Structure 1
Amino acid sequence: MCVGVPMQVIRRDEMSALCSDGTVTETIDLALVGEVEPGTWLLTFLGSAREVITEDDAQKISAALDGLRSVMGGGDLGDAFADLEETGPRLPLHLAAALSEGKTTA
C-alpha cells in the first residue's frame, strides 16, 4: 500500500525539491506537479510529488497519519479524524447525484 505524505518545499532545483514533513527531509521529484516555490505543500508518494495541497489539507493528512501510527502502536486515534467527525461521511458528487435521482443500485 502506498500512503501519501504531506511535505513542504524547502528549496527547489529544476525538477526536484528538497522537502520536509517536519521530521524527515528528502529530495522529491516534481515531474508531475511542475515548478513550485519554497513553502508550497505537496502530497508525496514514494519520493514523487503527486499534487500541490493547501497547508490546511497538509495538517489534516498529517493528523490522520499520526492517528494511524498511534493505533498501530496500541494507542487510540484521539482527534486524528476530527474534520471527518464534524461533517460525517460524504458521497462523491456522482454518487450523490445518482442517489438523489433514486438510483440506489449499480
Structure 2
Amino acid sequence: MCIGIPMQIQAVDELSAHCTADATEQQVDLSLVGTQPVGTWVLVFLGAAREVISADRAQQVTQALDAMQQVAQGNTDGLDALFADLTNREPMLPEHLRKK
C-alpha cells in the first residue's frame, strides 16, 4: 500500500521541488503536477507529487495519518479531535456513489 504524505513546496527547480512536512525534508518530482509556486501543498507518493491540494486538505490528511499512527501504537484517546470534520454529523457517501 502506498500512502500519500502532504508536503509544502519550499523551493522549485523546474520539475523538482524541495518540500517539507513537519521535520521531514524531501526532493520531490513535480512531473505529474507541473511546476508549482513556493508555498503550494502537494500530496507526495514515493517521491512524486501526484496532486496539488489546499492547506485545509493537507491538514485533514496529516490528522488522519496521525490518527493511524496513534491507533497502531494502541492509543485511541483523542481521536475525535483528529477527525473534527467527521464528528457530530451523519456520514455521507461520495457524490459518485450516491444513488440517483
Partner residue, 2:84: 82
Aligned residue in 2 for 1:104: none
What corresponds to 1:93 in structure 2? 95
Unaligned runs of 5+ in 2: none
Q: Which has the larger radius of gyration?
A: 1
Is the Cα contact below 8 Å between 2:80 and 2:87 reproduced in 1?
no
The question of whether the paired residues in 2 share the 8 Å contact of 1:67 and 1:78 is answered with: no
Counterpart in the other structure of 1:10 = 10
Q: Is 1:55 the counterpart of 2:52 in the alignment?
A: no
Bigger helix fraction = 1
3-state DSSP of counterpart to 1:8? strand
Query: What is the letter of the counterpart of residue 85 of structure 1?
Result: T
Distance 1:88 1:4, change over 3 A: farther
Partner of 2:27: 27
SS in 1 for 2:82: coil
Count of aligned pairs: 98
TM-score by length of 1: 0.85
Question: Which ranges of structure 1 fall in alignment gaps of 5 or more residues?
Answer: 102-106
Deviation at 1:73, TM superposition (A): 1.0
**Identity across matched positions, percent:** 47
Structure 1, residues 28-70: CA drift from partner, whole Å, max 9, x if none?
A: 0000000101100001101000000000110111111111111
Q: Which residue type is aligned with residue 27 of structure 1?
A: Q
1:95: Cα distance to partner? Answer: 2.3
AA in 1 matched with 2:43: L
